[in-house]
Amino acid sequence: MLRAAWEMFYTFLTAFFKGVLLAVLLGLPWLIRLAAVLLWLTGGALAIEAIRTIYQPFTPPGAVFALQFAVIFLLVAWAGVLLRRGRLWGGLTVGGLVLVLLVRYAFPWFLGWQYASLVSRILPPALFALGLMYLTFRLRFLHKRSIP
């Protein structure tokens, strides 16, 4: 009686673990995708925190929010580019990994650099100026080309 019960329980456990294993195997792609999203979000959160660390000492809160929003926007734009190219999950993983590594290793080195303060102060307006120049020339080119 006891033996029969044990065999039945063993069969049940075997079926259960096989089911769990099968479920894990079937859900593995989605688990990896979930991990990619988490890695992407972690990288973004670390970048946002890094921005706050750098800019909070010499920036009004509103301007810091704007810079943090710029990072959020870049994260979303990166996802958009990946969606367009059909390489979302791999791109999110690589992007998140690069961000995490940058913040973990490059960021401390940057903070210790002699000109870190000056570069970080000049970076946002310089990026704005470069972006605006790019857009200006690009749109002018498109506009001129559109004129018959």
Which stretches of the chain bind another protein, using CB under 8 A? 57-60, 62-63, 66-67, 69-70, 73-74, 77, 80-81, 83-84, 86, 117-118, 121-122, 124-129, 131-136, 138-140, 142-143, 145-147
Token pair for 28: 């593995």
Q: Least separation, in Å, of the C-beta of 95 and another protein? A: 14
Distance, CA of 135 to CA of 141 (rounded, Å)? 10
Nearest approach, Cβ of 49 to another protein (angstroms)?
17
Least distance (Å) from another protein to the CB of residue 32? 18
What is the dihedral sign for C-alpha 135, 106, 116, 111?
positive
Give the 3-state secondary structure of residue 132.
Answer: helix
Of 104 and 140, CB closest to another protein: 140
* CA gap 65, 140 in Å, rounded: 32
In this complex, which beta carbon is closest to another protein, that of residue 15 or of residue 63? 63
The residue among 57 and 112 lying less far from another protein, judged by its C-beta, is: 57
Q: Cβ of residue 104: shortest distance to another protein, in angstroms?
A: 24
For the stretch 121-124, contacts whose Cβ atoms lie closer than 8 Å and that sit 24 or more positions apart, written own/partner, are 121/58, 124/67, 124/70
